[in-house]
Structure 1
Amino acid sequence: MMKRLKKILLLLPLGLLAVTAWAQKEATTWYFGQNAGLSFADPSKPEPLKDGNMFSEEGCAVLSDALGNLLFYTNGMQVWNRNKQVMVNGDSLKGHESSTQSSVILPKPGSPHLYYLFTADFQGQNHGLQYHLIDLSRNGGLGEVISKNNLIFAPVTEKLTAIKHRNGRDYWLITHRWNSSAFYAYLISADGITFKPVESHLGSIHAGDNGATIGYMKASPTGDKLAVATWAAVNKIEVFSFNNENGKLAIAVDLGKFDEAYGVEFSPDGTKLYGGKNGIAGGEARIFQFDLAAGTPNAIVHSGKQVAKSLSRKIGALQLGPDGRIYVARNNSNWLGVIRNPNALGPDCDYKDSGINLGTQKSALGLPNFPGFYFQNLSPATSAALPSK
């Protein structure tokens, strides 16, 4: 069995080796935390934004169009339009701003103006996974929530992400059932949502104290891998293979115990995985790197090394940006940490704790929940060539 697992893992794609050095612009604008924001209109020089109206302790999502123009943003409870006003019918959503990944946004395949907003309740509560439909052709392009609070399944954990289907049109929406080892992958196509999910039972059982609902789930930019951080009392980081044609997870690699694991993120080229932990009750904010190109599951586990620590008592989300860097949420801080060269091995990844200043606004634990496919066109050269600050 182990020989078969080794063979499969060695065949996993390691990322795009020869790709065009440009990023899609849907992730140009970020709003998060305590009215904080960033603009990547010039990816070589992200600038803080001070015009956001959203507070979110944890989860949030933002979407711009293909030209980088802001469309809307949300904390899972309210939706703000491009003018930073609450969208028509965009309040009283049954997500929660204290859910790790409270929300994720997906365009409805085949439609130029319809968008699904998916939300996840906090700590496995009974609002569970919901969908809401936004029509941006309404109200002069400012949009309207035309259907909201439609229950898909409950209870789920606070994990919510999406992967582009191999056909290039459709999507997989992925969450994790609470009190279970089951991942649920829902197909999103031009026909709508397929409400019977593809189930994969592997990895840790997410159960016990409600704290075990907490923590990020992220997909690699090419959609072939899925990483999960699970907070206390599970306290683990795991990585899986993902088949973006049939929605199944196939391999589980337990990367070890990490007390109060929270954020995870892949490098742009997909060969490195980063995971953050805070230690029991905080105070030990550390970031670890794993070399997914090391070969066997055992080699990947043993490649793990601490590459960063923060002065903050707690760190939260790790989120890849359009500039090829990974941004780190420092709770209650005017600064984000930045991993400036995440494709590089070990300390060469170049973490700066005071990486970018947010002005008078502050980060909380969350950053916008962008699906990894928005960053699949970032080449290793893009991030390696970034100027130092």
Structure 2
Amino acid sequence: MRYILIGFIIFCSAFAKAQLESSQWYFGVTAGIDFSSGTATATGIGQLVTGEGCATISDDLGNLLFYTDGSLVFDSTHNLMPNGTGLLGDSSSTSSAIIVPQPGNDDLYYIFTVDTSDQQYRMNVGFHYSIVDMSLNGGTGDIVPTQKNINLLPLTSEKLTAISNATGDGFWVLTQFEDTYYAYEITAAGLNLAPVTSIVGPTIELISTPITNVDVAAMRGYIKLNARGDKLVAAHFSNNTTAEFSGITNVLEARSLAYAQGGELYLYDFDNATGVVSNPQPLMTRADGASFYGVEFSGNGRYLYAEADYMLPSTTVIYEFLRGEILQYDLTAANIAASKTVVHTDMIAPFRGALQLGLDNRIYHSRINESFLSVINNPDDGGTASNYIYNDFALTNGAQAIYGLPIFVQSFLLNGDINAVDHCFGESQAFTFNTSAQVESILWDFGDINSS
């Protein structure tokens, strides 16, 4: 009886472990992390060289499937897929790509891409999707030739995020441009090409000026949905207007103003049943003087983190760096904006970089040209107990972090275990769910109509 029981419990535990689709990371200059063991381990076998955007996907056991910078797609052997070049993302786009499974088909995956242009942003080619079929190329996958670079929007920002829908049988993919959020739903029937649109503030104007590399600043920054699927955060690096550049002909002066005048940090409600974004809440605005780029939610869902850069315009360089801050907001507070706590500050330039939650429940911060990642070690804790450590996680020899870290369907980051105590065959059994996340309800399905 004991050996049968132990075998049963081991089987249940293995079945109950969190899925590992987000366990493999590839980013920066040949940098990587493997979380599949439960502990972050640096790897150096990836082939990406990307300044910002990147995305990876593994199967639910943690086996790498493929990864991309939005332009090139590498398979699990770290070779380019035969048709895996020429995607219309850009490695200089904040969120150049995100990978989303096709519900009901284990072989098909969508790669959504957003382009950018460091010259004139309005010249970029917009929002597209391509489909990877893992049954192609001997089982290592390839992009379906007739389903490559399908346009969805002519122009959007450098922002992408995704989450499971309310019924758990599909996903929402979101992007943003100026004052509008576009939510596309994917179900077993495929991608609904008609997005749910939500017009909410602030308006981030795509400024019009003949001076290059000015309009791109406003399009930078991440958006993230929380794993629960009811909150959305947006980081806007700047919020300039065309009128502010009237009469300016000096390139350095124009770029300095574009970069250093401050951006916007906003929190919204998201309805993952309808795809609607609503209730815009300004956490910080341009008047506060900070530019925002990386954002992330804690594993337990209580805290929101944002990285902020404080800069001054300059006449000799693009900007004068003052300081960088990691900000924490308590989403349970009556006044979320007022709950802001600075959990880390330093003057090591540059500061701008992604924040990304790992399966070890730590949040990683990418800082350019570092051979380490900085880490928020205890993001479920309030204030400085969250324990931000500069350059805390060493990358492999020769690898470098730049600005970006891979993004995922945010519900892939929800971690937990099903626990059971000793019991005898034929008797009723109680199960408990162990997770740091704030969970409203759990649906049990053991294939037995009598279980509840």
TM-score, L = length of structure 1? 0.88
Counterpart amino acid of 2:405? L
Deviation at 1:251, TM superposition (A): 1.2
Which residue of the partner structure matches residue 28 of structure 1?
A: 23
Q: Which of 254, 277, 301 in structure 1 is aligned with 2:337?
A: 301
Which residue of the partner structure matches residue 244 of structure 2?
A: none
Q: Is the 8 A contact 1:241 1:252 kept in 2?
A: yes
Counterpart check, 1:221 vs 2:261? no
- Higher RCO (CA < 8 A, seq sep 6+): 1
| Structure 2: distance between partners of 1:259 and 1:101 | 21
Q: Is the 8 A contact 1:75 1:102 kept in 2?
A: yes
TM-score, L = length of structure 2? 0.76
Deviation digits for residues 331-358 of structure 1, max 9, x if unmatched?
A: 1101101111111111011111121011
SS at match of 2:94: coil
Classify 1:77/1:236 alpha carbon distance in 2 versus 1 (closer, same or farther; 3 Å): same
Gaps of 5+ in 1: 1-19, 385-389
Counterpart check, 1:163 vs 2:163? yes
Counterpart check, 1:375 vs 2:413? yes
Q: Which of 181, 185, 193 in structure 2 is aligned with 1:183?
A: 181
Deviation at 1:203, TM superposition (A): 2.0
Deviation at 1:160, TM superposition (A): 0.5
Q: Which runs of 4+ in 1 moved over 3 A?
A: 20-23, 123-126, 378-384
Which residue of the partner structure matches residue 3 of structure 1?
A: none
Which residue of the partner structure matches residue 83 of structure 1?
A: 77
Q: Is the 8 A contact 1:72 1:79 kept in 2?
A: yes
| Structure 2: distance between partners of 1:320 and 1:186 | 24
SS at match of 1:302: helix
| Structure 2: distance between partners of 1:381 and 1:340 | 20
CA RMSD of superposed structures (Å): 1.9
SS at match of 2:47: coil
Q: Kindly, what percent of the aligned residue pairs are identical?
A: 38
SS at match of 1:158: coil
Which residue of the partner structure matches residue 240 of structure 1?
A: 268
SS at match of 1:90: coil
SS at match of 2:200: strand
The alignment of Structure 1 onto Structure 2 pairs a total of residues equal to 359
Q: Is the 8 A contact 1:265 1:318 kept in 2?
A: yes
| Structure 2: distance between partners of 1:334 and 1:383 | 30
| Structure 1: distance between partners of 2:31 and 2:140 | 22
Q: Which of 188, 192, 195 in structure 1 is aligned with 2:193?
A: 195
Which residue of the partner structure matches residue 326 of structure 2?
A: 287
Q: Which of 348, 355, 366 in structure 2 is aligned with 1:329?
A: 366
Deviation at 1:206, TM superposition (A): 1.6
Which residue of the partner structure matches residue 361 of structure 1?
A: 399
Deviation at 1:283, TM superposition (A): 5.0
Deviation digits for residues 111-145 of structure 1, max 9, x if unmatched?
A: 11011000001145431110001000011111110
Classify 1:21/1:255 alpha carbon distance in 2 versus 1 (closer, same or farther; 3 Å): farther
Structure number with greater Rg is: 2
Counterpart amino acid of 2:303? K
**Range moving further from structure 2, 316-325 or 354-363:** 354-363
| Structure 2: distance between partners of 1:383 and 1:172 | 24
Q: Is the 8 A contact 2:415 2:435 kept in 1?
A: no
Q: Is the 8 A contact 1:336 1:363 kept in 2?
A: yes
